[in-house]
Structure 1
Amino acid sequence: MPSQSLRFKLYSLLSLPIVALIGLWTFVAGHVLGDFFELSTATAVFEEIGDPAGGLVSSLQKERRDSAVFLSSGQPDALRLANARRVTDQAVEQFRRTATGERASTVTTQEMRVAIDAVLDRTKGLSRLREKVDGKQSDRLETVQAYGAITDSVFRLYDQLITVPRVQLYQQAIGLQRIAHARDLISREDALISGAVMSGRLGHEEYEAIEVLAPNRQLLMGEGVAMLDTELRAPFERLVDGADNTRLGALEHEIVEEARLPRDTAAWQEVVTRLGPALDQLLDSRIQLLTGRSDDTAGAIITRIVVVGGLGLTAILVAVIWSVRLGRGLVEELDGLRGAATDVAEVRLPQLVERLRSGQTAEADTSSPIAVTTPTQEVRDLANAFESVRRTAVRAAVGQAELRQGLNRVFRNLARRNQSLVHRQLGQLDAMQRKTAEPDQLSDLFRLDHLTTRMRRQAEGLVILSGAPAGRQWRRPVQMLDVVRGAVAEVEDYLRVNVQPMPEATLTGGAAADVIHLLAELVENATVFSPPNTQVNISGELVGRGFAVEIEDRGLGMPDAERDELNRRLADPPEFDLADSDRLGLFVVGRLAVRHRIKVTLQRSAYGGTTAIVLIPSTLMTDPSGDLAHTHTD
């Protein structure tokens, strides 16, 4: 790399804020422009596609009701149905013309075009549906559901059309869309019940359909109203709390509870006749209000573009002038500091570090502070700060080494004391369990014994962190199934752990305690980082290089980068950092794995969670036909 002067570096350094300012200004201006174009696109999309789609839904709702009445009446009004179909055909043609037109193609995304094609494909089935209605080859419920499939495709299209960049506007649009969907469910209920009133009975399947439609309608209405702000929500709240909506809910409840038409069938027609148009009118007025807000937002964005552009350019010019003047004055003063800093960086600090590595004390360094001649007090202070930093770094390095040794001793001593107390407590609990025959007392003692076992594992973790052996030892080989069960017994949520059958395999007694601790830490992580209603599965099998144990949870998993980093740390554990205590269990796992040459790997499970694979080498496995250990020593 070619050499560069201090002047060049200083000006380069001063230019960084300017470049950053230019980049920030460009980003902000581009972001604001992006918001403007996205808002304009969202408005155009709704005008070209949303409006005709809404008209299509309204015409389909009317034709659906008239078709249900036609199928239910002894003397159907064919003219009324024909008029409804003509209006629907006009709405379909209007939607097809605008949604697939040249202007719409410039503002729609691939997802929107797929949703538009889905709506058009659904409308192609209208002819066959109408033939079945005319020939009364379809019952009332089948007809209502067929029309509902078309309107459902329109509402799925609505989900793609709501693309406003402002979160608040987006939330209001989603709320209105859900209310419109609730309105469509009212229309479906009305078609079924109006037809049932005409025929005099409500079929069992129709009752089941209303049993689903009614709560969904109430849920969509409640969620939609809750998502709106105060201005948009107020009229909907009055409508929801009004007599008509309350009466509608009561009639729905009567139908669902008694599985038949309401006693007062005329009340249903009266309520729906008033509530439906009122809801349509409210939706139209609120959509217009939200459109007005979008226009206001677009105007505010234009103002921001002008303000951001002007202020940003002014700030850039000021920054350039200030940087040139500042750099010219500082470059000469920094030349002197450069020489002193070079001496510290290339001579004095390397010598000091070398003495520390050779075992000499930091007090052996008696170099004088950095001294530079400069009229700028801050530059002189910087020189003194270099020296202070050097001395502080030396003291910190020595102190850190002494602290690390002291902490290891503290960990070991405290853990050993805790181990002694826990072992005594386990012995007393065992004696109490032998003397007690009461089931309730035995259950309490068992839970206390399980808690004490977990306390023992925590104490062993501290011993392992200090670099000492855990303390427990088995004299003879141990069955791998018993090792896994012993690990599960040390986990708080052990009831969620499912241990699958394993082949006959035994582990050397000297490694049993550490392998139990290692598996317990992994099982504990699996239970903690997965939903409480899921199971953690443990399986094991003999493989070419030893015995593999798989611990699989059904949690949310972790990002690939984080999992790769944890696998790296498990394979090569770094020096223990007190500040990184969140992954203490995995640090202990890494220590134990390195101690016994066990390979621990974290992978993504088939359920989206994490699978921990523990490969125990063949050197730790023994002949299963040998004597097995049933007791251990501490």
Structure 2
Amino acid sequence: MIPSFVLLAAGVGINAYLITAAVQKRDTAILLARGYSLAVPFMPAMTQERRASVAAAADPSPENRAALDQSRGAFNQLMAQFSQISTEVADAMPPESRAAIGRFVQSMGQVPQIRAQIDNGQASRLTVYSTYNSIADAMIVAAGAIGRDSTDKDAALLRSSAADLMRVSDWLDRSNSLALAAYRNGGLTGAELAEYDSLTRAYRAELNGLRPQLPVAQQQKIGQLESSSDWALLGTVEDALVRQGFDPRPLSPGAVPSLPVTVQQWQDAVRQVASTISGFGLGDLGSTAAAAEKQSADDTLLRSVLIAAASLLLAVVVLSLAVRMGNGLVRRLRQLRSDTLAADERLPLVVDRIRQGEQVDVAEEMPALDYGRDEVGEVAEAFTKAQQAAVAAAVQEARLREGTNTVFLNIARRSQAVVHRQLQVLDKAERAADDPEQVELLYLLDHLSTRERRNAENLIVLGGGRLTRQWRTSVSLLDIVRSAVAETEQYNRISFGRIPQLQITGQAVADLMHLLAELVDNAIAFSPPESRIEVRGNPVGKGAVIEIDDQGLGMAPEDRSRANDMFGDPPDFGMLALTGDSRIGFYVVARLARQHDIRVSLLESNYGGVRAVVLIPNSALVPVQRLDSGDDRHTDWFDTVVPAQESRVEAGAPRRTTVAMLPEGNPAWPALPPSDDRPPLPKRHRQANLAPELHELPEPEPVAGDHEATAVEARSLMTAFQDGTRRGRADNETWDG
């Protein structure tokens, strides 16, 4: 667009200049034509006044005075018009011609002065003769300057020849004016005779010299003039005057030179020859030059107009093509932009589908962008290749992840199966043991195995699998909370608050138990050893809430905010591993919570630590019916679990309490003074207080491909996992998962 507009502007500017110059040239040619039309009668009128003025200055007789007045009247009209047209021509001409025309106009200012001197009898005939000659010379010089400044060479040659013919005509008139004045006043003086002889010879020689340079028509006219009777008569008179002027015998006083013809015949011949020569210059050549220049100006103007029209048409065509091509390019670019944006929007969705294991037709989901073979098409092709490379990389990543997860889950389920068999062996050993120390040692091994089972389940969750422990029937929330606490190492630091009497659907039992165990274990790990962790719950409009409140150092607001964001939208485990984040417990919690629409959030505790709030939705709860308070089956909404150091078994206790399970010899259990009337201390029996549904854990799913995996592969993968967890524990201790 920019080059097109520049071309259009340049074309308009150049053609406007050319048209303006052509119009000025035509106007100048018209002015010159008017000037030459006035110059044709101007020179004869001026020479007639010069002749009459010289005669009146020599002899102010009434006859000469009357001839002078008559010549002045004719010259006055032409002089006013010619002065005005000369000024206009001067304004339109170049500097040299303008200066010459200015000198001519200035010389015409001498006419009033010389007229006054003649009228007062103060001017000699030589003074009058010289004054009018200067006016004629200025006019001839101006005509020659106009010819030299002409832009057309033919017109310049014609004007130059016209100026020369004007000079020939003026020399003829000058000689005649001088001779006529002397003829009537005693003849020519010596100086006048030399001037007269020089002028007559000069105009004849000049005319012969100019003749070959003139057009053929003018040459023929000059030949006709030189063969005319007037030309011959004029030559005879000039010869007689020169002979008699150089005759050593002076004329008697009052005598005049003898002429072969009468004075009237002589003057008629002079006027005829002078007007003919002047007509050749100012009339024929000058008019022809003006007409040629005007024609040249008209042709130039016509050419400029045609060129301007063609240039404008070309510029419009080029501009139209540029606009069309530009609009087409813009449309293609906009379409390419729209297609690429749409492809950019589809690409993450396709990649997510591939990562989720869905089979995707890449050619259908990410079609190639076809925009031709030009630069735009090359850009579209490059973008298509980049997208296809991204999708191919996602496919390769999904396949690699699928294989890694398969190995990951295989090892985790193998470990889970081993731990499950280990728990069965420990349970059998606990039942057969009688030594309290051995029982305590077996309980410790049982607890460590339980934690190892939870770690194996963490691996299953990280690998994208589901926990194998599942229940078909609902389990009370209190039992789930107590089972989650029992899976932690320092369960004796847990204080229970009020837990609502609610039932959890069987499909959410294992995941909720694991989720609470991770949060409780996290609270234990990141709080002082002597501090306590409080677990309490409440029913709410959207379900039930479990709060885990510790007294640790807490978390920075930005870390807590990032953790809450992860609970709301858990990232891909591969991305979590790439960021170097070792808090995989939070990730496990987020994955388990997402499966059942459980909302987990971390708040600042009143003790300066962290309060973990778990909102269990109504979809994970079994609907219950509130009974009237008079109904025998009516119970409170809460099961109260008091700390072990506050629990006592007293007969006739007015309230219903459930005592948390603690093993014998627990230092948190206070030593009661022995009394014969008090009941014995309770003794912990493994799984004695669990719900019947939780007594026997379901068998883990069989591990596929046991016979295919080698010990070397299992050892390598577990070593890599242990190295990762070791690096995570080596980081600065902060409240994490």
Give TM-score scaled by structure 2 length.
0.34
TM-score, length-scaled by structure 1: 0.39
Bigger fraction of residues in helix: 1
Larger radius of gyration: 2
